[in-house]
Amino acid sequence: MIRALQGFIIEQSPFAADGPELLLNVNGVMYGLLTTARTLQQLATVGPEHPMTLMTSLIVREDAHILVGFIHRHERDLFDLLRSASGVGLKVALAILSDLDVPLIVQAVVTGEHKTLTAVKGVGPKLAQKIVLELKEKMTRWSSQSHALAVMDTGLVLPAKRAPEAVLNEAQAVLLSLGYTPAESQRALAACLNAPDAPSGSDLTSETVLRLSLRWLAQAVG
Homologous superfamily in CATH for domain 4-71:
Nucleic acid-binding proteins (2.40.50.140)
Per residue in 132-174, pLDDT tens?
A: 999 999 988 887 665 444 333 333 344 445 567 677 777 877 8
> What is the end-to-end Cα distance of the chain in Å, rounded?
47
Q: Report whether pLDDT(82) > 90.
A: yes
Which amino acid does the sequence have at 11? Answer: E
Per residue in 5-39, pLDDT tens?
A: 999 999 999 888 888 999 999 999 999 999 999 88
User: Can you give the residue ranges of every domain in the chain?
Assistant: 4-71, 73-150, 159-222
Q: Report whether pLDDT(198) > 80.
A: no
Report long-range pairs for 72-81 (Cβ below 8 Å, ≥24 apart). Answer: 72/102, 72/152, 74/102, 74/146, 74/147, 74/148, 75/36, 75/39, 75/102, 76/3, 77/142, 77/146, 78/102, 78/105, 78/106, 78/142, 78/148, 81/135, 81/138, 81/139, 81/142
Please name the fold of domain 73-150: DNA polymerase; domain 1 (1.10.150)
Is 145 buried (19+), middle (13-18) or exposed (0-12) by CB count in 10 A? exposed
> Does residue 222 sit in helix, strand or coil?
coil
DSSP code at position 195: S
Q: Report yes or no: 132 and 85 within 8 Å, Cβ to Cβ.
A: no
Which amino acid does the sequence have at 3? Answer: R
Per residue in 35-46, pLDDT tens?
A: 999 888 888 777
